Amino acid sequence: MFWNKFTAGAKEAPSVTVPPNAPSQSVAQPDLGNAGIPVKFNSVDFRDGQQSLLATRVTTADMIPVLTAMDKIGYDSMEMWGGATFDVMVRFLKIDPWNRIYTFKKFVKNTPLKMVCRGQNLVGYHAYPDDIVERFIAAAANAGIDVFLIFDALDDLRNCETAFNAVKKAGKKIEGSVQYNISKYHTIEHFVSNAKEQERMGASLIHVEDMAGLMTPAASYELISALKKELNVPVHLHCHCTGGLAVASYWEAIRAGVDGLDVCTSSLSMGPSLPAIETFAAALRGTSRDPKIDIGKFKSINRTFANYRKDLAEFESKLIGVDVGCLQHQIPGGMLSNLESQLTQMGCYNRLQDVLDEAIRVREDMGFPPLATPSSQMCGSQATMNVLTGKRYGVVSKEMKDYCRGMYGKAPGPISPELMKAAIGDEEPLTGRPADYLEPGYEKAKKDSEGYARTEEDILTWALFPENAKEFFIHKYQLKEGRN
């Protein structure tokens, strides 16, 4: 808490400068799994770090000054695209999301670039037709994405099939993802079975996503041990610090033999964000899994990231520190910062705790889905409407109606009769793969965007966010009256 508050207003962020060859402290060697194999680190600073702390408002131009330095750290990959970044760039920042990949490729020469892909939902909030999924992934791979971290919010792998196949066709790396959460439907056996199926589908790495910071150290050791025993591919762990458990859970994961960890640089870490890489570079020094990362290299990077927080203070999450309430509401860090921002804009920030309490009830009514995007948005938005209107399900969003129809896939548990009645009445829910009910979308997007879109990437942007694309292209191409 102190570090984040200090760096948020600092003129120059302090940095530990222990040289890489400093002797380890004179203590007994810890018992670490995967002994002799250095722990790998994936940077999420430019995606989940800024998404969790700063509502995804860091621009591409502001990222450029640190890219060369970040490329020299020795990360296994750099997550910098997908998730909410695409939407925010189009809707709020008015900068071309595709240009971010090309810009990173100019400066990042050694580190593979990673995007987060929400399976059939891509970077949006509902299922897109197969032709859009295939073309989007081909375009992202062509632009320079090396690793596709693919997940489905409900762990319904039918929603990942098209994306997996498209990545294979592009010759890129698939990182499968297991969405960690706590419910009677989410057991060790469930997580392992889901991960094994993704390995069979072609994942060359399995990512465990604790998006809300729920995982205890004991649960971390148990789950990572089980996955390492059953899988033939590496296992990486991603935990947010919201509940104050992530640092201890990461250490237990290392003891269990985890291959890699998702981290942020210290001045973009902790709170609803992720643990700091410097913490583990120091903790592992001199051990059998020492990554041999020079902590001194982070001084200038930390200064830049601290300035992000200073310049974007209006967007910064107020949930800096520990929120043990996440163990109940299970809303992830990125959604928390957006929820705070939305309630502040409506003048209702004082109702945040009421919304979080209601989210617990809404999630149960939804059948206990993991609160990854877009189920987290549906749950949070519905909880907000329930609280602000004073009537549960008096207003039900289109997205929630589609969720109850089965257009997002199969919920882990039964949806409550109260929610089903309010959402779709007596309508029978669908049981098939959601995308099978959708017509192809590319040709329609191409036709609708005539006069605005000028490239294949533009057409895909239109297909994903048609409600915001027109305004975006008028700004991008300086169109006087739209089409010309």
Question: According to the CATH classification, is domain 326-435 in 3.40.50.12140?
Answer: no
Work out the burial of residue 95: count CB atoms within 10 Å of its CB; fewer than 13 is exposed, 13-18 middle, 19 or more buried.
middle
Measure the CA–CA gap between 265 and 274, rounded to whole angstroms: 9
Where are the alpha helices (H) located in 72-145, listed in sequence order? 85-88, 97-107, 130-143
Measure the CA–CA gap between 209 and 236, rounded to whole angstroms: 9
pLDDT band of residue 28 (cuts 50, 70, 90) is: low
DSSP 372-395: -TTHHHHHHHHHHHHHHHSSTTSS
Assign 448 to helix, strand or coil.
Answer: helix
77 touches 112 (CB < 8 A): yes
Question: According to the CATH classification, is domain 2-10+38-312 in 3.20.20.70?
Answer: yes
Over residues 202-242, the pLDDT tens digits come to: 999 999 999 999 999 999 999 999 999 999 999 999 999 99
What value does the mean pLDDT take over residues 18-43? Answer: 74
For 126-129, the CB contacts below 8 A with 24+ separation are: 126/374, 126/399, 126/402, 126/407, 126/408, 127/159, 127/407, 127/408, 127/434, 127/435, 127/438, 128/435, 128/438, 128/441, 128/463, 128/464, 129/435, 129/438, 129/439, 129/440, 129/441, 129/442
Assign 303 to helix, strand or coil.
Answer: helix
Can 2-10+38-312 and 326-435 be said to share one CATH topology? no
pLDDT at 484 over 70: no
pTM over 0.85: yes
Over residues 251-278, the pLDDT tens digits come to: 999 999 999 999 999 999 999 999 999 9
Question: What DSSP state is assigned to residue 36?
Answer: T
Question: What DSSP state is assigned to residue 112?
Answer: P
Measure the CA–CA gap between 467 and 475, rounded to whole angstroms: 14
Please give the radius of gyration of the chain, using alpha carbons only, rounded to the nearest integer. Answer: 22
Which tokens in the block code for residue 233?
């591919």
Measure the CA–CA gap between 223 and 466, rounded to whole angstroms: 41
- Minimum mean pLDDT among 33-47, 60-74, 247-261, 319-333: which range? 319-333
- CA nearest neighbour of 43 among 149, 140, 171: 149
Measure the CA–CA gap between 162 and 147, rounded to whole angstroms: 16
Torsion over CA: 210, 213, 214, 216 (sign): positive
At 8 the pLDDT is: 39
Measure the CA–CA gap between 303 and 307, rounded to whole angstroms: 6
393 touches 386 (CB < 8 A): yes
Work out the burial of residue 62: count CB atoms within 10 Å of its CB; fewer than 13 is exposed, 13-18 middle, 19 or more buried.
middle
At 164 the pLDDT is: 98
DSSP H or E stretch at residue 464: helix 456-464
pLDDT at 388 over 90: yes
At 324 the pLDDT is: 81
Q: Where are the domains of the chain?
A: 2-10+38-312, 326-435, 441-476
pLDDT, mean over the chain: 91
- CA nearest neighbour of 340 among 99, 54, 30, 141: 54
Over residues 353-381, the pLDDT tens digits come to: 999 999 999 999 999 999 888 998 899 99
Over residues 128-172, the pLDDT tens digits come to: 999 999 999 999 999 999 999 999 999 999 999 999 999 999 999
